[in-house]
Amino acid sequence: MEQQLTLVLLDSPKGAKIVEDASFPSSSSSVPSSSSSTDHRRHRTLVKFFVYLSLVALAYYFIISSFTVSPISPNLPDTSSANGSSAKCDLFTGDWVPDPSGPLYTNLSCHHIQDFQNCLLNGRPDVNYLFWRWKPRDCDLPRFNPSQFLDSVKNKWWAFIGDSIARNHVQSFICILSQVEEVEEIYHDKEFRSKIWRFPSHNFTLSVIWSPFLVKSETPNNSDIQLYLDQLEPKWTVQYSKFDYVVISGGKWFLKTTIFHENNNITGCHYCQGKNNLTDLGYDYSYRKTLNLLRDFVLNSTHKPLVLFRTTTPDHFENGEWNTGGYCNRTMPFKEGEAKMKTVDDVMRDVEIEVFQKFGKGFGLGSNIRLLDTTGMSLLRPDGHPGPYRHPNPFAGVKDKSHVQNDCLHWCLPGPIDSWNDVMVEAMLNRERELYDLIG
């Protein structure tokens, strides 16, 4: 609610006398001359002018401070450092610090957690992974306020586009927002992979669109995946004009055996092991082609939603992969420098940086696309995965625990992925501030 302040100018003789007496006590032993009388009037005038300016400044302060600041707002914080320089904080470089307050929700207060990521329900014995928050190195990152956020996105549509990590992310997002208002599912596809929800009292729509390659793909008769590297997946492009905010991500699916199609010709493959004499161009080739196509689509589209491209998510399998006995049994975050990214993740991130910073950081002021660079912060959380707790009591009746499959890629809910939302909302906020600066 806006505050109102009524200005009362002290311009009556009585009011002026009060100010005058308070500021300039008279001397009873001297008789005012013409010169001293003139000086006296000058002093009175100066005092009135000073009081007037003070009241105007006070009124301006109260009026300005009365406006509610939404999570997506052009109001700028003071970013000046101690030496007077002004620099924007790097949200994506920092550490995980203890947070005794814990998560904003639990598996009991949120009913939108997929069973595979419901670590508490499935009996994970340790809970230390719940009590950390992401702290950028040079600034504070507040948790976004779900109530304030929903108020700011009334009548808007927010979409997540990608694979199962995108689904993992949207479930975290919904769990936080549902503490304010319960969401209604209004659509799902046959496989329950793409969904649409609505927060009815805010008319806020939220989607997740299953598109693990982002480009058109086919798998005829369960054979190798056919990727069309010159055609984006129409499942999401036909809906793009509806969206106000979009979070897009790619990743691990590009490591699968795939055949590449371009300009109606087969141009190569990845991991096809010499099949049909095709040239193995590598997953980085198809990933780069896809992201270039995606970037150009976003930049050239007449529709300009706010778009974040979320960077690759590193896994934390140790002593093997998901199908070769790999596991993740750590219970504490890494400190910066303690973790090393795997080659495949390193290559994917290099491709992402190359494509999305080709024209400079953020593509310059006014661009509607940014990087949501969660790779580094995610790398430091080997403790945040379900591990064997993909199901309740995973070791019941099992003689050899090494035969129990672990999930060291997806994230427990609640868990570290919840902090992605704090960074995501702040990244959107920063982009809004830049636009505000640009247009004045």
Q: Could you tell me which of 293, 301, 289, 280 has the C-alpha nearest to residue 367?
A: 301
Q: Could you tell me which of 209, 151, 145, 148 has the C-alpha nearest to residue 176?
A: 145
DSSP 8-state class, residue 186: E
Helix, strand, coil shares of the chain as percentages rounded to 5? 35, 20, 50
Three-class SS state of 387: strand
Under 8 Å between Cβ of 229 and 286 = yes
């050899």: which residue's tokens? Answer: 400
Pairwise CA distance, residues 85 & 219, whole Å: 55
**Known catalytic residues?**
164, 407, 410
CA of 192: how far to CAs of 115, 213, 384, 421, in Å? 14, 18, 25, 23
Pairwise CA distance, residues 79 & 89, whole Å: 8
Three-class SS state of 386: coil
Q: Could you tell me which of 413, 404, 405 has the C-alpha nearest to residue 385?
A: 413
Tokens of 276: 């049909």
Under 8 Å between Cβ of 75 and 437 = no
CA of 92: how far to CAs of 329, 354, 371, in Å? 25, 17, 10
In a 10 Å sphere around its CB, with 0-12 CB exposed, 13-18 middle and 19+ buried, how is residue 113 labelled?
buried
Q: Could you tell me which of 106, 95, 77 has the C-alpha nearest to residue 133?
A: 95
Pairwise CA distance, residues 48 & 13, whole Å: 11
Pairwise CA distance, residues 328 & 383, whole Å: 7
Pairwise CA distance, residues 225 & 211, whole Å: 13
């997929």: which residue's tokens? Answer: 114
Q: Could you tell me which of 420, 418, 417, 400 has the C-alpha nearest to residue 409?
A: 417
Pairwise CA distance, residues 324 & 306, whole Å: 40
Pairwise CA distance, residues 385 & 392, whole Å: 15
